[in-house]
Structure 1
Amino acid sequence: MKLRLLAAGIAALALSGCTNSITSPLAPTPAPVVKKIPYEQASPEKQERFHEDMIAVATSTKNDPNYNRMSLDTPERKAWFKNLMYQLWDGQITKAQFIAEGVSKYPTHRYEFEFVANGFEQRR
């Protein structure tokens, strides 16, 4: 009888979902929860200021013989680059992040990403 009660107790514990509160040092730690901040559309005035700065930086590239245009030959690539420039201009990313992101897609254009980043930095 005692053996049946012991077996039933062990089975109940096994099926109840009890877990050991001591975690193994080798167990992976859970990823931190990152709160996503909703994107707010920039005001028309802010969009205009960005556009003016973007045009000024783009125009300055023509005066630099070392600047080689990137092949932004699709609407997706153009949108990616414009968004990346806006994030830099708006202070959402750092100059180093801008350059790293750019070089990850266009590895042979480090000079160009540095040039654009410096151009926006001078416009502040």
Structure 2
Amino acid sequence: MKHMPMINRLLAAVMLLYGGYLMLFDGPYPLSIILTLAGLSQLATDVVFPAAEPYDERQEEIKMKSGHMSYALSILYVFVVLMLVQWQVVDDLMTALLCVLVIQVMTFPVMMFVYSRRN
């Protein structure tokens, strides 16, 4: 299992490269955005908790707090995006859904980073 950190970084790099390739040549379609977000999320998680660091109660507490805060924030920004669609600030529903997806996927690693710096 000591090869897992290298495999995780390799998969993150592949997702970032392929997502970037698709974004450059096909445009920002959902598949390219999802691949790029997955790669960024994986790299952000590896930065916050390196694989060489042993798993302990501190990591569990940080992940739990991050998950709770991400969930609370997701309710808030889904409501905001729905209001923007209702008021016709955002015309395309697909754009609104992609915005929610981007924020949803990136909130957890950002909150992990914030809580890991506090502890």
TM-score normalised by structure 1 residue count: 0.25
TM-score normalised by structure 2 residue count: 0.26
Higher relative contact order (CA 8 A, sep 6+): 2
Higher gyration radius (CA): 1
